[in-house]
Amino acid sequence: MRKFSVNVNGTRYEVEVEEIDAKTAAQAPKAEPVKAAPAGAGTEVRSPMPGNILQVNVNPGDTVKEGQQLMILEAMKMENEILAPCAGKITSIGVAKGSSVESGALLCTIA
């Protein structure tokens, strides 16, 4: 076993990974192929924490670049930028300026 420290969205996790040899790997069951998302589904952008939407900087149909600011979320008296996780076209927006959102709420979808 080997230990690794992994950072996922600002949260640090310590994981252990078992090393296997080629013979063991050949005997292991094969993973199922990943199914593609249905057409038009796109990438969902969700709220990382509860808060209020101060600003919405995009509209449906807008083309965005990865890392582009989509919205500003106020949480605990701090303004947090919601950035595009990928490049694409905004297909839907699930919030408006002044909306109160919970953690995990759908903010928008990028296809």
Q: Parse the chain into domains and list their residue ranges.
A: 42-111
pLDDT tens for 69-88 read: 999 999 988 999 999 999 99
User: pTM for this one?
Assistant: 0.62
**80 Cα distance to chain centroid:** 15
**Cβ atoms of residues 65 and 87 within 8 Å:** yes
**Cβ atoms of residues 37 and 51 within 8 Å:** no
Q: How confident is the model at residue 13 (pLDDT cuts 50, 70, 90)?
A: confident
Q: Which tokens hold the place of 18?
A: 């078992």
CATH number of 42-111: 2.40.50.100
67 CB contacts (<8 Å, ≥6 apart)? 83, 84
